[in-house]
Amino acid sequence: MPRRLFQNPILIFLVVLVIPIAGTLFSELIMFDLPGGEVQQLVAFMTMTGIMSSLLSFAFYRLGILEWFRSLRWAIWMVIALLVLMIFLNVWVIARFTFIQSHYLTLTSVLLVFAGLSALTIGFFASKTMTDRLSKLHQATQALARRDFTVRLKISGNDEIAQLADTFNTMAGNLQEVEEQKRQLEQTRRDLTAWVSHDLRTPLTSMRVMIEAILDGVVADDETVQRYLVSSKAEIEHLSYLIDDLFELAQLDVGHLQLDMQRASIRDLISDTIGSMEAKAAQRGIELIGEVSDEVDMIVMAPDKIQRVLTNLLDNAIKYANRGVRVTLRAWPIDGEVRIDIHNSGSFIPQDVLPRLFESFYRGEGSRVRADDGARGTGLGLAIARGFIEAHGGAIWATSVESDGTTFSFTLPQ
């Protein structure tokens, strides 16, 4: 509120007019014994000159005369010159009105000229200090316009120019982050195109070869034809899964994921997931174990999405676990959340690979090889799982110890 008051031109006008008059009158009355008539004349003269000076200053402000100059340095010099001129005229006239002896008036005039020249000298260096800082800001802005987002200004002082420099540095930092994000996004787009092209080309090429072999009569016996048809069906299913995964990933990227939130039993979801994966685990000689704490049951979630997460993580654990090991799915409450671990004791993931597991299309060495049943992953399952969990306000991560195995973990708010 006080700051707004001092931005009011009328209030500034009154302050500029009253304070100098009151201060001067006080000094005159203390230092000089002026008759009453002379005091009234002095008040009248100072009021008149004060009003004229204030009106002239206000006219400069309203007309924006200082904006006509092409250099801030010359504008500051003009302000100082006007101040010196106004001070000289006011003091000279008052001195002539007050002093009787002429040599006092001459001495006052000389002192005023000396003070004016000194003020101009000080004004030169003061303006140079400001204009030099603004010149550096101008150069930094030009560098930023040339897309040099690393440019930064050295902040000196605590005035508005320093605040402007700090704001410039913040803006440059934000632009640098945006540029880096754009670069990463463009690289991801290129990688996505390459990965999708590879994952589409492989099944299409395989189906084309098998169908051409059947049509050309290269394969004639019923057993081989049947095997080719089954393989073609598997490739079509892979393409279908890939398209579904890409669609869900696109929804996650643009933030259009629809979550049907409701109270549901996480215990039932875990039981259903284990039941649906038991046959696949049995083919590899893997034992599935579920452990759910009695304190974990109904939570608010989108059951279909969490079911997808559980299926993706458990399928991933079965696919890459060594034959004959145990895969454990465990859930328990912790710090107001539900934590779920999917642990297999037979596989190890290097520490440098763990941070990349949840990237789209990332598949470590050996993961591109088909499983025993001929299935091939899309490389999107973990990325989709991360998107679903984060959309629920949870977190997902992986840990791996060579002597113990690998654990995928995620939390959901309870």
Q: Looking at the structure, do residues 88 and 104 belong to the same domain, yes or no?
A: yes
Domain stops at, among 254, 287, 309: 254
Would residue 23 count as lying in a domain?
Answer: yes
% residues pLDDT > 90 (the chain): 3
Would residue 173 count as lying in a domain?
Answer: no
Stretch 339-363: mean pLDDT, rounded? 78
Tokens 């994921």, residue located: 257
- Asked if 301 and 264 touch (Cβ cutoff 8 Å), the reply is yes
Q: Residue 339 — very low, low, confident or very high, per pLDDT cuts 50/70/90? A: very high
Q: What is the pLDDT of residue 364?
A: 54
Q: Looking at the structure, do residues 291 and 237 belong to the same domain, yes or no?
A: no
Lowest pLDDT segment from 311-315, 318-322, 326-330:
318-322
Range of the domain at 229: 187-254
Side-chain-facing half-sphere of 97: CA atoms under 13 Å: 18
Is the model's pTM score more than 0.75? Answer: no
Side-chain-facing half-sphere of 228: CA atoms under 13 Å: 19
Q: Looking at the structure, do residues 48 and 100 belong to the same domain, yes or no?
A: yes
10-26 residue pLDDT tens: 565 556 556 555 555 55
C-alpha to C-alpha distance for 331 and 355, rounded to whole angstroms: 23
Q: Residue 356 — very low, low, confident or very high, per pLDDT cuts 50/70/90? A: confident
Q: What is the pLDDT of residue 95?
A: 64
Position 257, amino acid: L
Position 153, amino acid: L
CATH number of the domain at 270, please: 3.30.565.10
Tokens 């299926």, residue located: 311
92-123 residue pLDDT tens: 666 666 554 565 666 666 776 777 677 667 66
C-alpha to C-alpha distance for 398 and 381, rounded to whole angstroms: 14
